[in-house]
Amino acid sequence: MPEPILVVDNVTKNFGGLTAVNEVSFQVRPKEIMGLIGPNGAGKTTLFNVISGYYTPSRGKVLFQGKDISGKTPYALAGRGIGRTFQAVKPFPGLSVLENVIIASFLRHPKRARAEEHAWKILEFTELTDRAHQSAASLTLAGRKRLEIGKALALEPTFLLLDEVVAGLNPTEVDRTIELILKLRDQGITILIVEHIMRVIMRISDRLVVLNFGQKIAEGPPAEVANDPGVVEAYLGGGEA
Among the listed residues 55, 47, 90, 58, the one whose alpha carbon sits nearest the alpha carbon of residue 72: 55
Among 83, 143, 150, 222, which residue sits at the site for another protein (rule: CB under 8 A)? 83
Q: DSSP readout, 139-206?
A: S-HHHHHHHHHHHHHHT--SEEEEESSSTT--HHHHHHHHHHHHHHHHTT-EEEEE-S-HHHHHHH-S
Considering beta carbons, is residue 54 or 213 the nearer one to another protein? Answer: 54
Q: CA-CA distance, 168 to 187, in Å (whole number)?
A: 26
Q: How far is the CB of 120 from another protein (least distance, A)?
A: 8
Angle at 92 between CA 91 and CA 95, to 5 degrees: 125
Q: How far is the CB of 20 from another protein (least distance, A)?
A: 18
Among the listed residues 137, 144, 205, 194, the one whose alpha carbon sits nearest the alpha carbon of residue 169: 144
The answer to whether 91 contacts another protein (rule: CB under 8 A) is yes
The answer to whether 73 contacts another protein (rule: CB under 8 A) is yes
Window contacting another protein (CB under 8 A); options: 36-44, 61-69, 78-86, 211-219:
78-86
The answer to whether 78 contacts another protein (rule: CB under 8 A) is yes
Among 22, 52, 126, 177, which residue sits at the site for another protein (rule: CB under 8 A)? 52
Contact 54, 68 (CB under 8 A): no
- What is the SS3 assignment for 81? coil
The answer to whether 71 contacts another protein (rule: CB under 8 A) is no
The answer to whether 115 contacts another protein (rule: CB under 8 A) is yes
Binding site for another protein (CB under 8 A): 52-54, 73-75, 78-79, 83-84, 86, 90-95, 99, 102-104, 106-107, 110-112, 115, 120, 129-130, 132-133, 151-152, 154-155
